[in-house]
Amino acid sequence: MSRNPQTQKLISIIEPVLEAAGYELVDVKFLLEQGGWTLRVCVDLPIDESVDPSEVPPDRVDLSDCEEVSRELSAVLDVDDPIPQAYNLEVSSPGIDRPLRTAKHFAYYRGSEAKVTMAVGIQTPSGERKNFKGQLLGVVEDKVAMSVDGQRYELPIDDIDSAKLVPDWDAVMAGKSGVGAKQPKPHKPGAKVSSKKLRQEN
């Protein structure tokens, strides 16, 4: 997804190492922070498509996994040496507002709300637009389909600079993952349900 040649090089080194160890690369960021350069690698277990994204996964990456991955990556990066300057390596698991990077990510989290920032803007009737927040509709021919304020957009994955999920905190508090298709709210006892709503649900 990234157009940055250095990031693409890092992904080409890091991703095979993680896959061989049974993990998935979620995201890579190389940032200049107050304490110097940081290579931030976000890892997770591979997506299990049998688990609904609205449910909390039965297994997650923990601190020991991150430490194991950090050791393996440090060894490989020392050999390949893709970064000329000194840096700190940080390996972490994704939070609730998980980054999205690949077509598989966008397809699996269909129905979720997400924020997407484009490296290359999309032409709209009101001008060029780079920031989108709305519901993921899936992937169509290497483009992410999104519904934003009732308008459908198709965003080329290769032109996306960054993307992440926007969790539903009410769902999180109810014990769900906070992402995935929104569940219809239960009818209040004794409340009148409109015939229009019933037709939509049927």
Query: Residue 183 — pLDDT band, cuts 50, 70, 90?
Result: low
Continuous H helices in 133-188: 169-173
Query: Residue 73 — pLDDT band, cuts 50, 70, 90?
Result: very high
Residue 104 reports pLDDT greater than 50: yes
Residue 44 reports pLDDT greater than 90: yes
Among 11, 140, 49, which residue's Cα sits nearest to residue 1? 11
Six token digits for residue 111? 């129905």
Query: Does residue 60 sit in helix, strand or coil?
Result: coil
Indicate the domain borders of the chain. Answer: 5-92, 103-173
Give the Cα separation of 150 and 135 in Å (integer). 10
DSSP 106-138: HHHTTTSEEEEEEEEEEEETTEEEEEEEEEEEE
pLDDT of residue 1: 55
Find all residues with CB under 8 Å of 29, minimum gap 6, and list them.
Answer: 7, 38, 39, 40, 42
Whole-number mean pLDDT of the chain?
88
122-131, 174-183, 187-196: segment of lowest average pLDDT: 187-196
Q: What is the edge-to-edge ordering of all strands in the sheet holding 151-156? A: 151-156, 143-148, 127-140, 113-124, 160-165
Q: What is the pTM of this model?
A: 0.83
Give the Cα separation of 194 and 161 in Å (integer). 43
Find out whether 156 and 142 touch, Cβ atoms under 8 Å: yes
Tell me the pLDDT tens digit for each residue of 108-119: 999 999 999 999
* Mean pLDDT score, 42-48: 94
Residue 91 reports pLDDT greater than 70: yes
pLDDT of residue 196: 46
Tell me the pLDDT tens digit for each residue of 123-138: 888 889 999 999 999 9
pLDDT of residue 3: 63
Among 101, 102, 96, which residue's Cα sits nearest to residue 53? 96
pLDDT of residue 198: 45
Find all residues with CB under 8 Å of 51, minimum gap 6, and list them.
Answer: 57, 58
Name the residue with higher pLDDT: 202 or 152: 152
pLDDT of residue 58: 82
Domain covering 5-92 in this structure, CATH number: 3.30.300.70
Same fold, 5-92 and 103-173: no
Among 164, 165, 140, which residue's Cα sits nearest to residue 153? 140
CATH architecture, range 103-173? Roll (2.30)
pLDDT of residue 197: 45
